[in-house]
Structure 1
Amino acid sequence: MKIYQLTAVQRVSTASGYLRLATESDRSLLIEWLSAFLSEIDQAVSEDVEHQVDNRLKEQNTYFWVDSTPVSVASGKQVLPTIGRINLAYTPPEYRRQGYATACVAALSQKLLEGMPPLFPNSRFSQSHSQSYLSSDWVSPHLRLAPILIHLKCID
């Protein structure tokens, strides 16, 4: 796993739509999409998917990118005061190559960045820069983080 320092998010996607928190009414869609995601990364899909979805809904950490209908999903949360984690990003095949995942992850990254305190609260640097760290646990080599996060520095 690598950890990246995020200092700013630059919107490079021109995808229309907006970020929306997943709700209980999205449960069946989340189960379907999480199952598809797990299949695509060669992870076993089990009955545990429903439990995972229920936890995500309870923790309110899963968001859809909506362009008249949900077209992409990402989960992320603040795990420590200056550390956020995005651990799911999925777009169904029929919505791919339209910038939806890029827009979704960028908006969620910005949301996480805005919710975190400055790294150095008593310095002049913190007055003009908010910083956080994002960790990625994507294990599949065919999944790539779109070029939406700028000013990243890998911290091994």
Structure 2
Amino acid sequence: APAGRGRVATEADVPLVAAWTTEFAEAIGDEPAEDYTGFVTERISEGRLWLWEGPDGRPVSMAAVSRTIEGQARVHLVYTPPAERGRGYAAGVTEAVSRAALDGGVAQVLLFTDLSNPTSNALYQRLGYRPVTDHLGVTFTG
């Protein structure tokens, strides 16, 4: 595990996590929403959003898990701000949120990743995730 520790995000983390969610959307090429406050508050209030705190106790990475449906939950919103990357924080928070889901009774924890990102793909495989299938998103225009 990297230096620091994982913890469940709290209401006090909402402004930071909402800002990071905007950054995450931009980083993956999505058009960010105007305000993610409600989106992250729901995940935080249900204990489904985790933060990794660096050695100084400051949040440095986040990851969330979906609600469980048919025994499955999906890890999403894995994000580390650029200045904090390269220290293993995403690995720490992804492992923490995945472990929490499994410990909570989830039978299968899923994770979708971008095949063109070898860094995240290697990380997830080191954590025990295995490729199952590929998906392609297609947008049709008028």
The answer to whether the 8 Å contact 1:87/1:138 transfers is no
State the 4+ residue runs in structure 1 displaced beyond 6 angstroms: none
Greater radius of gyration (CA)? 1
Aligned to 2:139: none
Gaps (5+ residues) in structure 2? 135-142
Give the alignment of 1:7-156 within 5 angstroms.
13=1, 15-67=2-54, 68-80=57-69, 82-116=71-105, 132-138=107-113, 141-142=116-117, 144-145=120-121, 146=123, 147-150=125-128, 152=130, 154=132
The answer to whether the 8 Å contact 2:49/2:97 transfers is no
Say which structure is richer in strand.
1
Q: 1:82 to 1:149 in 2, by over 3 A?
A: farther
Q: 1:91 to 1:153 in 2, by over 3 A?
A: closer
Instruction: Give the deviation of 1:151 after TM superposition.
Output: 7.1
3-state SS of paired residue (1:105):
helix
Q: TM-score, normalised by structure 2?
A: 0.77
Q: TM-score, normalised by structure 1?
A: 0.71
Gaps (5+ residues) in structure 1? 1-12, 118-131
Instruction: Give the deviation of 1:111 after TM superposition.
Output: 1.4
Q: 1:29 to 1:153 in 2, by over 3 A?
A: closer
% identity of equivalent residues: 28
Instruction: Give the deviation of 1:52 after TM superposition.
Output: 1.2
CA distance, structure 2, for counterparts of residue 134 and residue 32 of structure 1? 26
The answer to whether the 8 Å contact 2:8/2:44 transfers is no
Instruction: Give the deviation of 1:69 after TM superposition.
Output: 0.5
Aligned to 2:138: none
CA distance, structure 1, for counterparts of residue 96 and residue 50 of structure 2? 10
CA distance, structure 1, for counterparts of residue 52 and residue 116 of structure 2? 24
Structure 2 letter corresponding to 1:133 = Q
Instruction: Give the deviation of 1:83 after TM superposition.
Output: 1.4
Instruction: Give the deviation of 1:108 after TM superposition.
Output: 1.5
Structure 2 letter corresponding to 1:20 = R
Q: Which has the higher contact order (CA 8 A, sep 6+)?
A: 1
Q: 1:32 to 1:40 in 2, by over 3 A?
A: same
